[in-house]
Structure 1
Amino acid sequence: MKILHRIFPVLLLGYRLFFAWFGYQYILAHHGDAERYWFLGQDLSASSWTDFLKPGTDVVKFLTFPLVKFFDLPFLAGFLIFSLLSFAGVLILYRNLMRIAVRNVKLQILVVVLMLLPNFHFWTSLIGKEALIFIPLTVFCAELSRKRYFSVWLIISLLAVAVIRPHVAFVISLAYFLALLFTFPFSFKRKTMLLGGLALMTGLFTWLLTSLQDFSGGFQRVLQKYEAHIRYFKPTDGYVPLDRYPLPYKFFTFWFRPLPFEKEGWLYGVISIENTVLLVLSLFAAFYSVKYFSILKKRMLFVFPVIMLFIFTLMYVYAYANYGIIMRTRVMGMPFFAVLLVEVFGVAVKGDVASEKRLLPRE
């Protein structure tokens, strides 16, 4: 495993560059947001770089504008650049998961399997927000696993997420605040400080979100946007009636569908195999979570991902009804999902070893 650990990042880079090329070919054939981000067919003569110095989608355009206007790089170069940029996040996640695995061969194999799942490589190799947001998400996870709960890098990573997707940053902040309360016996003063920090972050994220979209109608406006999304996705090939499912099945669909033979085509076939792997791992993780709950409930790397993924999934299952957009959105939750799986299996491995030692006959 030592040799694999040394060469795996290099192999992973080659594996990833394949997805950059594949993503390029896919967008050429099917079109997508990457064309808009690379200003294909757009006249930039009257545009300035500072026009895109804004949060949200313009963060991507702020990076691509000079590459297109000043350097005149081809479309394929954009995929290679974004794939290499987000590869930093892939390496951070890989090293973080290996750190949690603590030299256990079984856990290291699990990490390798998780790092080879194709969906998050595909979406983070495209020109878009997923490639950029993946880096701060993995930095946040890494700081968490190192128990740097209030570090500068943790705060910077959260702010970076907020600049790209403020609602995701709010979900992370809320889950983080709750996880801290559940796992640490804070004094009333500390709890008040945490609540104040959450309120400050919420105000910032709300301001960023309202600067990007119109929410003047309050919660009713949010529901209208959700309904508009559903109507937009109904004619698409990847439509799934998520809006008509009960909540547990919404969650199941978001993370584990399509399963094999649900959809035709080799792309759906690859995705369904990945979903099956995630489903099997999740079933084992659920079993071990119940079995070792008395231990896991005190661990930040268990409590935080569980809360975060629940709120994160709840936010999106009412908005989307298309397999493609669901899989793209799911990428943002994958670093936390992977950390959760490795943490649970890590506790299970240690628990099973301890049980075996107790059962050994004494000499």
Structure 2
Amino acid sequence: MIGVLFLIIIFFILNQFIFGVYAKRHAFLDKKILNLLYLYHLLFYGVYTWYAYNNPSDSLHYFHVISTHQGSWLELFGTDTAFIHFFGYPFYNMGFNYDMLMLTFSWFGYLGFVYAYIFFREKIPIKINFFKIDLLTLILFFPNMHFWTASLGKGSAIFLGLMMFTYAIVNPKSRLFLLGLSSVIIYYIRPHVFMFVAVGTVLGYMSGKEKIPLWQKALVFVALGGALVLVQDQILAVMNLQDSENIIEDFQAQSAERAEDLSASGSGVDMSAYPLPFKLFTFWFRPLFIDAPNVLGLIVSAENLIYLLLFFKILKKDFIDFIKKSPAVVKMSFVIFISTSFAMTFVMSNLGIIMRQKSMVMYYIFFVIYYYLAQKKYEKIMKKRRLMKRREKVRKAEVVLE
């Protein structure tokens, strides 16, 4: 307990240093809301720790492997689960117990929210209210997002990697270190997600409305395209497809097998016969109140209802035109969200897994929605200003005539 309290203070101090660094680059940074977010995230660290002690939890398995490892640190190195063992082992050697290691990974998850906040505010300076609540504040404090990023495991680390990458790719030249570090984190935790991120980034850069220099487009294409070629076997190995002669057919077979395994684990939904739109609806918005498996499910259902209401905001005729004309970062976010969702719907059939997995990608669609609403608001403001200028010209003309 003393170790946990000590770490809470240390991380708080580190937060202030990080805020100070980024406040010099971004005048909009609000330390007050980020400190409040830290306290809020700590609450979910406590909730998840209690949950882990009273329910089966992957975090306990991770700690068991780390604490019983007898070999060298490098022997733990690998992708997927192995990388979490590799990532956590140095902290265990420093004397961190289970609770302290949980808190450390929870802090990594919190840093993901910090990068998400900076990314949103940097690209969207206009504030939007949703039911009289600041939309960015609402997005940052969604409970399900914090629950699955507040523990020892893949969720917290990959969320940090994804948000760090998204922040870095906005200005890759000056944020090259963060771009490289985040790419490594994403790839070694979930190689297939790295593929979606790389494809989304390339498509976004190539089709964005900004006049990006050709050399910069080529650099992004060569770097991420080359990385995909180099690691294609590891990505395919996630679904045991590295030796496949017919990837599409074998992917469908593997997806069906995984879906059956997940559906048998207690809170399954048989999605195999669902049409694609309903599969996507299930991944994005379920559980809802009628199929919530437990108390946690009820809380998530309320959050999912807000997701659904936000989604309705883009069900407009002009949304397709908006995407076509949108900047690279919006297109990138949209492609990452859609491609990842599409792939996940074929292997996810357990509501618990769905609640956890979608926390990786929901911020991308939140960004698209936020940008769309901000642009609509900006267009209304500019239209009002133009109207006021015309009225002012008419008024001055009338005065001259008099």
2:117 match: 94
3-state SS, counterpart of residue 242 of structure 1: coil
1:250 match: 279
2:234 match: 208
2:307 match: 278
Q: 1:314 to 1:27 in 2, by over 3 A?
A: same
Counterpart amino acid of 2:278? Y
**Contact 1:301 / 1:340 at 8 angstroms: preserved in 2?**
no
2:82 match: 58
1:348 match: 376
Counterpart amino acid of 2:244? G
Pairwise CA distance, 1:210: 5.3
Pairwise CA distance, 1:122: 0.8
Counterpart amino acid of 2:179? L
Greater mean alpha carbon deviation, residues 293-302 or residues 311-320? 293-302
Q: CA RMSD in A?
A: 3.1
Q: So what's the TM-score if we normalise by structure 1? A: 0.87
Counterpart amino acid of 2:193? V
Write out per-residue CA displacement over residues 141-195 of structure 1, whole angstroms, 9 at most, x where no aligned residue: 2134457599453344223311221111111111222222222578999877665
How many residue pairs end up in the alignment?
A: 359
Q: Which whole-Å CA distance do the structure 1 matches of 2:48 and 2:238 have between them?
A: 27
Pairwise CA distance, 1:118: 1.0
Of the three residues 292, 306, 325, the one matched with 1:263 is 292
1:167 match: 192
Identity fraction in percent: 21
**Contact 1:92 / 1:138 at 8 angstroms: preserved in 2?**
yes
Q: 1:343 to 1:103 in 2, by over 3 A?
A: closer
3-state SS, counterpart of residue 240 of structure 1: coil
Does 1:115 find its partner at 2:140? yes
Q: Which whole-Å CA distance do the structure 1 matches of 2:355 and 2:234 have between them?
A: 25
Q: Which whole-Å CA distance do the structure 1 matches of 2:29 and 2:327 have between them?
A: 29
Q: Which whole-Å CA distance do the structure 2 matches of 1:77 and 1:256 have between them?
A: 33
**Contact 2:208 / 2:329 at 8 angstroms: preserved in 1?**
no
Counterpart amino acid of 1:201? A
Pairwise CA distance, 1:252: 1.1
Write out per-residue CA displacement over residues 74-107 of structure 1, whole angstroms, 9 at most, x where no aligned residue: 3222221111122111111112212233153648
3-state SS, counterpart of residue 73 of structure 1: coil
Counterpart amino acid of 1:13? Y
2:398 match: none
Does 1:307 find its partner at 2:335? yes
Q: Which whole-Å CA distance do the structure 2 matches of 1:197 and 1:4 have between them?
A: 31
Does 1:298 find its partner at 2:321? no
1:336 match: 364
Q: Which whole-Å CA distance do the structure 2 matches of 1:40 and 1:187 have between them?
A: 48
User: 1:96-245 alignment to 2 at 5 Å?
Assistant: 96-102=119-125, 104=127, 106=129, 109-146=134-171, 151-183=176-208, 196-209=222-235, 214-215=240-241, 216-218=243-245, 219=247, 220-245=249-274
1:76 match: 99
Pairwise CA distance, 1:325: 0.9
**Greater radius of gyration (CA):** 2
Q: Which whole-Å CA distance do the structure 2 matches of 1:298 and 1:92 have between them?
A: 22
3-state SS, counterpart of residue 324 of structure 1: helix
Q: Which whole-Å CA distance do the structure 2 matches of 1:50 and 1:248 have between them?
A: 44
Pairwise CA distance, 1:65: 2.6
1:9 match: 34
Q: 1:147 to 1:297 in 2, by over 3 A?
A: farther
* Structure 2 gap segments, 5+ residues each: 1-26, 396-402
Write out per-residue CA displacement over residues 40-92 of structure 1, whole angstroms, 9 at most, x where no aligned residue: 79743x33322202222111101323444x35533222221111122111111
3-state SS, counterpart of residue 314 of structure 2: helix
